Amino acid sequence: MNGKEYVSSVLEKVKKTNPAEKEFLDAVIEVLNSLAPVFDKYPEFIKAGLLERIVEPERQILFRVPWVDDNGNVQVNRGFRVQFNSAIGPYKGGLRFHPSVNLSIIKFLGFEQIFKNSLTGLPIGGGKGGSDFDPKGKSDNEIMKFCQSFMAELYRHIGADTDVPAGDIGVGGREIGYLYGYYKKISSLSEGVLTGKGLTYGGSLARTEATGYGLVYFTEEMLNDNGDSFKDKTVVISGSGNVAIYATQKAQELGAKVVALCDSNGYIYDADGIKLDVVKDIKEVRRGRISEYINEVPTAEYHEGCRGIWTIKCDIALPCATQGEIDADSAKILVQNGVNVVAEGANMPSTLDAIEIFQANNVFFGPAKAANAGGVACSALEMSQNSMRLSWTFEEVDVKLKDIMQNIYHNSKNAAIEFGCDGNILVGSNIAGFMKVAEAMMAQGIV
Ligand code: NDP
Ligand code: 2IT
Segment 424-439, tens digit of pLDDT: 999 999 999 999 999 9
* Residue 168 backbone phi and psi in degrees, to 5: -165, -155
What is the model's pLDDT at position 339? 98
Among all ligands shown, which has an atom nearest to the Cα of 372? 1
Measure CA 136 to chain center.
21
Residue 184 Cα to ligand 1 midpoint, Å, equals: 27
Confidence of residue 128 (pLDDT cuts 50, 70, 90): very high
Residue 276 — very low, low, confident or very high, per pLDDT cuts 50/70/90? very high
pLDDT of residue 284: 96
| Binding site membership of 321 for ligand 1 (Cβ less than 6 Å) | yes
Atom index in ligand 1 nearest the CA of residue 243 equals 25
Q: Whose CA is nearest to atom 37 of ligand 1?
A: 168
Does the CB atom of residue 346 touch ligand 1 within 6 A? yes
Task: Provide the mean pLDDT of the chain.
Answer: 98
| Nearest-angstrom CA–CA distance, 12 and 8 | 6
167 CB within 6 A, ligand 1: yes
Q: What is the pLDDT of residue 354?
A: 98
pLDDT at 358 (0 to 100): 98
Segment 357-366 mean pLDDT? 98
Q: Does the CB atom of residue 372 touch ligand 1 within 6 A?
A: yes
User: What are 71-94's pLDDT values in tens digits?
Assistant: 999 999 999 999 999 999 999 999
342 and 366 Cβ atoms separated by less than 8 Å: yes
Q: What secondary structure, in 3-state letters, does the chain show?
A: CCHHHHHHHHHHHHHHHCCCCHHHHHHHHHHHCCCHHHHHHCCHHHHCCHHHHHCCCCEEEEEEEEEECCCCCEEEEEEEEEEEECCCCCEEEEEEECCCCCHHHHHHHHHHHHHHHHHCCCCCEEEEEEECCCCCCCCHHHHHHHHHHHHHHHHHHCECCCEEEECECCECHHHHHHHHHHHHHHHCCCCCCCCCCCHHHCCCCCHHHHHHHHHHHHHHHHHHHCCCCCCCCEEEECCCCHHHHHHHHHHHHCCCEEEEEECCCEEEECCCCCCHHHHHHHHHHCCCCHHHHHHHCCCCEEEECCHHHHHCCCCEEECCCCCCCECHHHHHHHHHCCCCEEECCCCCCECHHHHHHHHHCCCEEECHHHHCCHHHHHHHHHHHHHHHCCCCCHHHHHHHHHHHHHHHHHHHHHHHHHCCCCCCHHHHHHHHHHHHHHHHHHHCCCC
Q: Which of the listed residues 107, 171, 243 should we mutate to test ligand 1's pocket, taking the one with most ligand atoms within 8 A of CB? A: 243
Q: What confidence tier does 230 reach under pLDDT thresholds 50, 70, 90? A: very high
Ligand located closest to 125 CA: 2
What's the mean pLDDT in 266-285?
98
Nearest to 53 by CA among 128, 114, 130, 129: 114
Quick one: pLDDT at residue 18?
97
Judged by phi (left if over 0) then psi (alpha if -120 to 50, else beta), residue 404 lies in alpha
Which are the contacts of 134, defined by CB distance < 8 A and separation ≥ 6? 97, 98, 99, 170
Average pLDDT over residues 225-249: 98
Q: Is the CB of 291 under 6 A from ligand 1?
A: no
For ligand 1, pick from 120, 171, 216, 263 the residue to mutate: most ligand atoms within 8 Å of CB: 263
Using pLDDT thresholds of 50, 70 and 90, give the confidence band for residue 349: very high
Report the interhelical angle of 328-336 vs 352-360 (nearest 10°). 20
CATH topology for 209-371 is Rossmann fold (3.40.50)
Residues 317 and 251: their CA atoms lie apart, in Å, by: 11
Ligand 1 contacts CB of residue 408 (under 6 A): no
Ligand that lies nearest to the alpha carbon of residue 265, given by its number in the listed order? 1
Contact 89, 123 (CB under 8 A): yes
Specify the pLDDT at position 11: 98
Please list the residue range(s) of the chain that carry CATH number 3.40.50.720. 209-371
Mark whether 128 is an active-site residue.
yes
Assigned CATH for 59-189:
3.40.50.10860
Q: For ligand 1, say whether the CB of 196 is within 6 Å of any of its atoms.
A: no
Band of residue 367 on the pLDDT scale cut at 50, 70, 90:
very high
Which segments of the chain belong to CATH 3.40.50.10860?
59-189
Residue range 407-418: mean pLDDT, rounded: 98
Give the model confidence (pLDDT) of 1-58 as tens digits. Answer: 999 999 999 999 999 999 999 999 999 999 999 999 999 999 999 999 999 999 999 9
Average pLDDT over residues 261-282: 98
Per-residue pLDDT at 114: 99
Residues 293-315: tens digit of each pLDDT: 999 999 999 999 999 999 999 99
